[in-house]
Structure 1
Amino acid sequence: MEATASEAGSSDAPRPREITLRGIVLGAAITVVFIAANVYMGLKTGMTFSSSIPAAMISMGCLRLLGGSNILENNIVQTQASAAGTLCNVILILPGLVLIGHWHGFPFWQTSAVCGLGGLLGVAFSIPLRRALVTSAGLPYPEGVAAAEVLRTGEGEAG
């Protein structure tokens, strides 16, 4: 018995949308909110929260309201928004130095631009590296496993 094109994994079968404009905009919005919350919490309490799982849940809810979402699009939004946890730890250094009065002779705007560029490069490289490091790998990291399970559960039937 012959396998159909979709069963054989042929490129004729339409692939679900992965990188979409609405996904990028939603991921950017979640990232901005989570970075602001993480920086505030980091400066107030000295610790930050991980944003992968909340970003996955918010992504699933928002994209489900818009309709036509899939696990790949949700994963891109979650990956982009989870950068907020990492970026805020780098960004915390700048306001911390200003608040303690230690920022006198440093080039503030140049340092801010380097931090921003590093963040943009990190997000830009996380999307192509995701396939090699997350999709094809065995997900040995607990937070990655948890975020993947949240996305798989959200992909299931609603209700």
Structure 2
Amino acid sequence: MAIAPSDMLCFALHSTAHAVHAAYAPLLQPLGLTYPQYLAISALGTRDGMTVSQLGAELRLDSNTLTPLLKRMEAAGWITRSRDTRDERQVRLSLTEAGRALSLKLADVPKAFAAKTGLQMSEIADLRDILAALRDKLKPARS
């Protein structure tokens, strides 16, 4: 017997991901950011100077997705990419002054998104942990 999409976990996750992106769009658009750029700026705001491979691992993005994203962010003046002085095979990412300023402006975005969900912060944390555990069972982080 066939199962309706509305009864499938995969569809609930897929449609929720689309809803999340749509909910973030009006929060990020005034800052000129896309959702993937928001994640990258946020990651660098917490750990500036990481390598491209470290950022890719944190965001779970492959280099074919990450490289064009980083090029656009560099062209916007938010980051710089430079060869690691100890290992020239590695490219280090650093926020520019404009990137750091943008990172600071992002502080209210998670709160604004949380308000849109109607969930309590403890519920959001629980849901995040459940989804992260499911993700890790399905596709562990790359090293």
**Structure with more strand by fraction:** 2
Higher Rg = 1
Q: TM-score, normalised by structure 1?
A: 0.25
Q: TM-score, normalised by structure 2?
A: 0.27
By relative contact order (CA 8 Å, sep 6+), the higher-ranking structure is 1
